[in-house]
Structure 1
Amino acid sequence: MAGVARFVASSLAPAAQRFAPQAAAGILRQVLEVAIDGYQRFPGAEKVAAKHLSKNSDDPELAVDTVIEQHIRLAGVQGFVTSIGGLITLPVALPANLTGLAIVQARMVAAIAHLRGYDLDDPRVRTAVITCLLGEDGVTDRLKKASLVTSPLAIATAPVFDPELDRQVAGEVVGELIARIGGKRMAITVTRRVPLLGGAVGAGVDGWSTYRIGQYADKSLVRRAPRSIEQ
């Protein structure tokens, strides 16, 4: 397994290095725009949050739970990229599956943030949303290595927006997303000879990573002062 991990890391390093900080930030801006604002038949984060709030008797905590559940199911469905209104055609410089999964996970985190009282138009909150895509282990590891200087909550509630931190986070997240898709492809390749197993592995990997990110966002983005959520 260690040999496989080294092989995956060495294979993905050149791809990750292609993205300069500015390029990575540009890619994630596109991902966030779709996640927050929506695209064609893919509703944005605020609409999703409002829908779940309405279905859960205006209880934001129950709404957070069902938002996470919905996005786990969506991420776990094979071929979901082609089924949510043209995401596969977006001009984002990442593989289609990776782009779609990043958008789904970013929308989930943004919807959680909205339900907890954060302003999704605030660039600090948008940086925090992207940071959550690293997951708890990813953030903890980068804090130890000092490649990330603070937590999603601290980013969202910082006194001012830090453009340099935003670019740093973008680079870390794009590298992480590329590594994940490479690891998933490796797992699918290993199981390809078993009928249906490859698809099940792919669905399971995407669903599990979405669950972990949802749980981390739920824990990290604690509720702010109450404010109205438009229905």
Structure 2
Amino acid sequence: MSEKITESKMQQVLDFAYDKAVNGVTGLDSAIELAESYKNDDCLHTQCNSLIRWQNTKAGTSGFVTGLGGLILMPVTLPANITSVLYIQIRMIAAIAHLAGHDLKDDRVKSMVYVCLVGNGAAEILKNVGIEVGKKVANNAIKNISGKVITQINQKVGFRLVTKFGEKGVINLGKAVPILGGLIGGTVDTISTNIIGNTARNLFAGENT
């Protein structure tokens, strides 16, 4: 049996997965490298959509998750599928944020990445902390987010994810087979990942850029 997931543990998992997504893990591109591979003459909106489509179709393949075994070396004990799903989805969101010109080293950007993980619930969380939704989140808007608001966002996201990744939520959101030879196999729920990707695109890049 795995340990009970708490908001504190979830925050540790998010921070760990974010660090790995931004800095990269052996065998996989970092979020920045992934984003750069999608930069072309198309508009930002189209670039983001291409990245999201790739994520939906490739994220669950064994070739993609080779090397994710290192993600299990975490400060807390959580099921491997939760760790791998969060890493995959955080990397996608961070790549979209980078495509839109945001600094992934900024804690404020990191919190906005986290809020995208709740998908359709992101707008409600942002509205509750006083951030206007429905428009592209400009760099200036992110720079005005205070440390207090960052804390509020992270707490609200943590609560949502703890609920989402309950036993039933894990089955619905992501599936994974046991770790074997350092390889995590399985698939990420394409519907959930698509919703999260669209949320990230609309938040960081706007609906029609």
Q: Bin the TM-score by the shorter chain.
A: 0.7 to 0.9
For the residues of structure 2 that align with 1:160 and 1:52, how far apart are their CA atoms? 29
Structure 1 position 209, deviation (Å): 0.7
- Name the structure 2 match of 1:44: 30
- Name the structure 2 match of 1:7: none
Structure 1 position 208, deviation (Å): 0.8
- Name the structure 1 match of 2:168: 183
TM-score normalised by the chain length of structure 1? 0.66
- Secondary structure class of the residue paired with 2:189: helix
- Name the structure 2 match of 1:212: 195
Whether 1:19 aligns to 2:2 is: no
Q: 1:29 aligns with which of 4, 8, 15?
A: 15
Q: Which stretch of structure 1 is more off in the superposition, 31-40 or 80-89?
A: 80-89
For the residues of structure 1 that align with 2:150 and 2:63, how far apart are their CA atoms? 29
For the residues of structure 2 that align with 1:210 and 1:122, how far apart are their CA atoms? 24
Q: 1:162 aligns with which of 139, 146, 152?
A: 146
- Secondary structure class of the residue paired with 2:55: helix
On the 8 A contact 2:109/2:142 being kept in 1, the answer is no
Letter in 2 for 1:108: M
For the residues of structure 2 that align with 1:156 and 1:104, how far apart are their CA atoms? 28
**Structure 1 unaligned blocks of 5 or more:** 1-13, 189-201, 224-231
| Identical amino acids, percent of aligned pairs | 27
For the residues of structure 2 that align with 1:120 and 1:156, how far apart are their CA atoms? 15
Structure 1 residues 100 and 85: CA distance shift in structure 2, 3 A: closer
**Structure 2 unaligned blocks of 5 or more:** 174-185
For the residues of structure 1 that align with 2:79 and 2:158, how far apart are their CA atoms? 12
Structure 1 residues 34 and 24: CA distance shift in structure 2, 3 A: same
Structure 1 residues 81 and 51: CA distance shift in structure 2, 3 A: closer
Where does 1:3-152 land on structure 2 (aligned, <5 Å)? 15-16=4-5, 18-20=6-8, 23-53=9-39, 56-57=40-41, 59-77=43-61, 83-93=66-76, 94-136=78-120, 138-142=121-125, 146=128, 148-150=129-131
- Name the structure 1 match of 2:176: none
After superposition, the C-alpha distances for 1:29-65 in whole angstroms (9 at most, x for unaligned) are 1111111111111211110011122xx4465433212
RMSD between aligned residues: 3.2
Structure 1 position 213, deviation (Å): 0.6
Structure with a larger share of its residues in helix? 1
Letter in 2 for 1:150: I
